[in-house]
Amino acid sequence: MTGESTPQVFFDRWTDAYGPGGRRPSSDACACVERRGAGRPRPTRFHPERQDTTAPGWIRLLELVEEAAADRREVFKPLADLTAQERRQVVTLPPSIAGLTSVKHLVLYGSNLVRVPPEIGAMRSLEEFSPYTSYRLHWFPYELTRCPGLRRSTVSTRALYGSYKTRSPFPPLAAVATGAVDLDDLDPGVRGAASIRTCSVCDRRVGAAELRQVWISLRTSGADVLPLLVNACSTSCVDALPEPAEGYVRAPHTGGPGVDQPPAGRRPH
């Protein structure tokens, strides 16, 4: 027919990144960083969920990680092999991802993750990280900076703590731990993880009375500035952190609604 333009077709690069049960993998609702009106921002806190290691989704994920490590694959899309119900059962990744030394692209599209373990830093071949539409994933471990080849990421930035779009507050970090704290059995809602064993900066074993946690915003890939949680073993390791990204809090900090962030709005250069 004359006078009619040809409809434009858009390519969906995530078609094979989600598994059975529909285009949008099942996940729990989250309003941690939703945009609010003017006034003092409401405090945020870590998601307190612990991983159920008896859940079928978790057990299947362990198998998939083992398979990917064995065949040395370069692209890993574990959620594509889980059902919608199984995807909802996974709130973190297993420490065994440290064995994925050949993976160049990690795809976690539409996950129900609330945290990523520090072992991601052992994925030294990682070049692209895609947790896109993982709306409950608000922060990442500082160990992500140990991936020297990481050049590209696809992240839903509105879901991040300190995003330039919303400047949602960072959860307040607990004070220096005492010797009575068991770092192998922590409250994830307070410390961000169920256990903390090594320093994010020097990789030394952390003692309970040594743990110092701070937030820092860094450009970990070519596009995105990510909020990173640092578990440091000393003030010297905190002092050794790099300068934060321009347009974000200018020094490592301990979070809370009282942290002075730049205004929300235009993306910093």
CA distances to 109, 128, 215 from 48, rounded to whole Å, are 22, 28, 18
pLDDT digits (tens, 9 = 90+) for 186-206: 999 999 999 999 999 999 999
| 106: nearest Cα among 126, 84, 135 | 126
pLDDT digits (tens, 9 = 90+) for 35-55: 555 556 678 999 999 999 999
CA–CA gap between residue 37 and residue 177 (Å, rounded) = 35
- Residue 16 CB contacts under 8 Å (≥ 6 apart), including other chains: 77, 80
Name residue 225's beta-bridge partners. 219
pLDDT digits (tens, 9 = 90+) for 217-243: 999 876 789 999 999 999 999 999 999
Rounded to two decimals, the pTM is 0.90
Could you tell me if residue 203 is left (phi over 0), alpha (psi between -120 and 50 degrees) or otherwise beta?
left
Amino acid in position 260: D
Sign of torsion over alpha carbons 63, 68, 71, 72: negative
The arithmetic mean of pLDDT across residues 70-81, rounded, is 97
pLDDT at residue 196, as a whole number: 96
Question: Considering the chain, what percentage of its residues have pLDDT values greater than 70?
Answer: 86
pLDDT digits (tens, 9 = 90+) for 108-162: 999 999 999 999 999 999 999 999 999 999 999 999 999 999 999 999 999 999 9
pLDDT at residue 223, as a whole number: 75
DSSP single-letter state for residue 62? H
Residue labelled with tokens 């949008």:
24
| Number of other residues whose CB lies within 10 A of the CB of residue 59 | 12
